Chain A
Amino acid sequence: MSGVAFNLGIEALLAAQTALDTVGHNLANANTPGYSRQNLLLSAGPTQRLGGRLVGTGVRADRVVSVRDLLVDRRILTQRALMGRLETRSSAVGDVEALLGEPGNGSLSSRISGFFEAVSRLSANPGDPVLRQDTLRAGTDMTERFRSLETGFQKLRKDAAARVADQVSKVNALTNDVATLNRAIAAAEIDGSQASDLRDSRDETIRKLSDLVDVSIVERPDGTVSLSTRGQMLVSGTRAFQIESATSGSGETILRVRGSDQPLRPASGSLAALLEQVNQFLPAQIQKLDALAKTLVHEANKAHSTGVPSNGPFRSLESLHALSDSDGDGSYNDELLSRAGLPFPIQDGALTISVTDRETGGVQTYRIEIDAEETTVGDFVGALNAIPEMTVVVEGDGFLSLRAAAGYGFDFAPRSFPTSGSLGGSSVQISGRFAGDSATSLSFRPRSAGDIGATGGLLVDVFDSNGDRVATLDVGEGYVPGSELDLGNGLKVSFGLGAVTNADTFAVQTAVDGDTADVLAALGLNSLFQGTGAADFSVVARVLDDPRLFAASATGANGDGGALQELLAISEAELAGLAGTPPVQFVGGLAADIGFARSSAELALGTEKALHDGLVAQRDARSGVNVDEELVDMLRFQQAYQAAAQFLQVVNSLNDELLRLL
């Protein structure tokens, strides 16, 4: 009996010591991330038969188990993955927002506005060389901002790609850790016990992993877990599958499990956000910036290319963009002009070319019709070469070279055509630049027969293309032949001496655009800007070198700033390339979209964080260690033991005394 009692005491002592060790362990890990409170499970010892009686053998420490709620734990993992994605997204969008710096000094919108303001100032005094320099400087500032933004976006993309590689390494290290812990847990739990601390370590490792990628967990009977992401295995028991980043055929950064062809696409976690940043968000911003730059280049060049430089018509001009020999037959001539590899589109329309005799000032205007589906490079060059005093060749490298004969110059100003002709026996000269909204044909018809400048009451009616009379000119007695009469919309006409009848007619085609086919902008002839995107957007070097080449005039006349008006109109135009918005508004929309994306991410992050905190509180209520509670328990034990020890001392002394008496 005494042996049983002794064993009972030892078992009880061991059980109690284990329980107290568990309390101490809980206390020691109160601040350990992911630690789950442990409890000692006690059970009654086996009953022994002793002297014909069944005798209990006291209490035994069965096993120490973690107090945890698997459902809550899994939901926390999901929340962490969502938060990881939103945190990274918010930070990434914040970086883009900071880089864009809208609105503010030096921002893209302020640089674009600055350029158009400079154009506006110059339009008031087109001949002012200082204002001309200022405008080119503002243009340079604007293009530099485009380039720096593009460089910044590319750097953010590169940094994000580097972070993807870094996080892939972290994922691999963590999955290795999980596999190692799986092995240790399986070994430790082979006797049916629970390796709580190892499980806590594994849980914490999985928590860290779920910050990076979303993981699904399946626990096996041997205590190991399998982890997978989007159906692809990351850890299976004691084996970890490494992932790697690679570049897809389309240039996207992708993840895949080593040895697998299937791309791994995490739905949440910071890796998902980084991939989104590298493959979608930043390319989209760069694409928008490129679209804006390309639209500005195209629109500005369309306006500028038909202007006339301040030093007069060109003697020679070379295209900025080379034609391509698409069919590789060694000749450019057979290529369709609209499909000859030029960076900007060519449409149906006409190119107006005026050749000026520098000595006499006489201007001859020619018109080349262009059909986007018919006109070949050879047709176009041939038409240009058909113009007297013009020589046009396609150089071997595909660049177009235009030259005027000595003593002549050329330009592409939107002059009315023809600028001269005859009405009966009278010569007619048209001057000025048509300022109407749309091109029209003007027909001159005398009302009666008579001599210009001699016959009293001799009137010439002017009809537009709709047959409506738009002007009546008195060219009879009192009119000085050769003097200009106003036709309205900036055009003037003069009649020479001669007889006319009411059967005579003279027609002139007015023009609002010297290049309705946009062939000049496509070829890069008389361009202000060059480039096809933000990265190579710049002011044309030859214009920067010689600011007189800034073609501000629409007619070549001194003080004319007609081309600037067209350039200025771009600032307010609803541009098709920018989804129908003016440039500055487009930038504003870009900044607003990014700001919205950031605030959305932050809002969502706040919501997900609140959910996460709630789940963690729920988990801690069940699994967390309450230090005060544990310590209070310990103190109560301490007091109880102290009291018990005192009484037991009295018990012993009284029993001693009694035995002495007996």
Chain B
Amino acid sequence: MNARQLVQRLEANLQAELGAKNREIETLARQEAAIAARDVEALASASAELAEILQRGTERAAARSAILAELGRALGLPAPVRLGALADALDERGAVLHARRAELRERCAVAMKAGRRVAALVRMHAGIVDETLGRFLAPDPSGAPLGCGSLVDAEA
């Protein structure tokens, strides 16, 4: 595979990454809304969708690393190859990559902010739930085996 073909594949990969990032941001927003609405079903659904996005993202990241490594070797760039250095090395053809890179950085920053906010919400809510459950379902200090009877029922 020549360098041109590799650049085309990289551009396609970045385009897919942009689309995935937008979906990720949407999913995070849904998670946040689900937490606010105490809608456990929506939260679980959003989390499952995020898992799927992440799974595909991992696959894309692996493919991207391989493309970048091959292009770096072809263009004589030192490892690890970064997208900015690669675009600079490609001169005119690198303009598209520069544009994709900028878009991706912006989407990535939004996703990271949303992820951090949702993670903070999750941590705080989880803390409240843990505390509440701990208060009611903590082991009976008397050691009675049925001290957590409600939990047994709930699990059943």
Give residues in A with beta carbon < 8 Å to B: 2, 5-6, 8-9, 11-13, 15-17, 19-21, 23-24, 27, 42, 58-59, 627-628, 631-645, 647-652, 654-662
Contact = CB atoms under 8 A, between A and B. Distances in A.
Contacts of A650: 54
9 contacts: A16-B121, A628-B154, A644-B35, A645-B126, A648-B28, A658-B61, A658-B104, A661-B82, A662-B101
B36 A12 contact: yes
B129 interface: yes
A631 B153 CA distance: 9
B82 to A, nearest CB: 6
**How extensive is the interface on chain B, given as a class?**
35 or more
B150 A640 contact: no
B47 A643 contact: yes
Given A20-B125, A637-B40, A654-B54, A628 B119 contact: no
Contacts of A21: 128
Contacts of B54: 647, 650-651, 654
Most chain A beta carbons < 10 A, residue from B31, B61, B115:
B115
Interface of B: 17, 24, 28, 31-33, 35-38, 40, 43-44, 46-47, 50-51, 54, 57-58, 61, 64, 68, 82-84, 101, 104-105, 108-109, 111-113, 115-126, 128-130, 132-133, 135-137, 150-151, 153-155
Contact of B83 (A59, A628, A631, A662): A662
A413 B51 CA distance: 119
Contact of A631 (B40, B116, B133): B133
Nearest to A645: B122
B119 A648 contact: yes
A651 B122 contact: no
Given A628-B154, A662-B101, A662-B104, A634 B126 contact: no
Contacts of B113: 2, 5
Contacts of A59: 33, 36-37
A655 B54 CA distance: 10
B118 A662 contact: no
Contacts of B136: 27, 631
Contacts of B83: 661-662
A652 B128 CA distance: 23
Nearest to B55: A650
Given A631-B154, A635-B151, A662-B82, 19 more contacts: A8-B32, A9-B121, A20-B132, A24-B132, A58-B36, A631-B150, A634-B129, A637-B125, A637-B129, A641-B122, A647-B50, A648-B28, A648-B50, A650-B54, A651-B54, A654-B58, A656-B112, A658-B108, A660-B82
Interface SS of B by simple majority: helix
B17 A658 contact: yes
Contacts of B58: 654
* Closest 9 pairs (CB-CB, A-B): A12-B36, A641-B126, A648-B119, A651-B115, A24-B132, A655-B112, A640-B43, A59-B36, A631-B154
Contacts of B61: 654, 657-658
A654 B118 contact: no
Contact of A648 (B104, B105, B118, B132): B118
B64 A661 contact: yes
A12 B154 contact: no
Given A628-B154, A654-B57, A648 B126 contact: no
A637 B43 CA distance: 9
A11 B33 CA distance: 11
B38 A19 contact: yes
Contacts of A631: 133, 136-137, 150-151, 154
Nearest to A641: B126
B63 to A, nearest CB: 13
A651 B50 contact: yes
A179 to B, nearest CB: 35
Contacts of A5: 113, 117
A8 B120 CA distance: 13
A62 to B, nearest CB: 13
A373 B44 CA distance: 104
Contacts of A58: 36
B121 A635 contact: no
A641 B130 CA distance: 10
Contacts of B84: 662
A9 B118 CA distance: 8
B94 to A, nearest CB: 14
Given A640-B47, A654-B57, A12 B35 contact: yes
A40 to B, nearest CB: 8
Given A17-B125, A648-B118, A655-B111, A640 B132 contact: no
B129 A20 contact: yes
B109 to A, nearest CB: 8
Contacts of A16: 35-36, 38, 121, 125
A647 B126 CA distance: 14
Contacts of B137: 631
A655 B108 contact: yes
Contacts of B105: 659, 662
A440 to B, nearest CB: 91
Given A12-B32, A59-B37, A23 B132 contact: yes
Given A637-B38, A662-B82, A652 B116 contact: yes
Nearest to B43: A640
A632 B125 CA distance: 16
Contacts of A659: 105, 108-109, 112
B35 to A, nearest CB: 6
Nearest to B151: A631
Nearest to B51: A647
Contacts of B121: 9, 12-13, 16
Given A652-B119, A654-B61, A662 B130 contact: no
Contacts of B33: 12, 59
Most chain A beta carbons < 10 A, residue from B28, B119, B128, B150:
B128
Nearest to B128: A20
Contacts of A15: 36
A651 B40 contact: no
Contacts of A638: 126, 129-130, 133
Contacts of A27: 132, 136
Contacts of A627: 150
Nearest to A59: B36
A658 B115 CA distance: 14
A649 B50 CA distance: 11
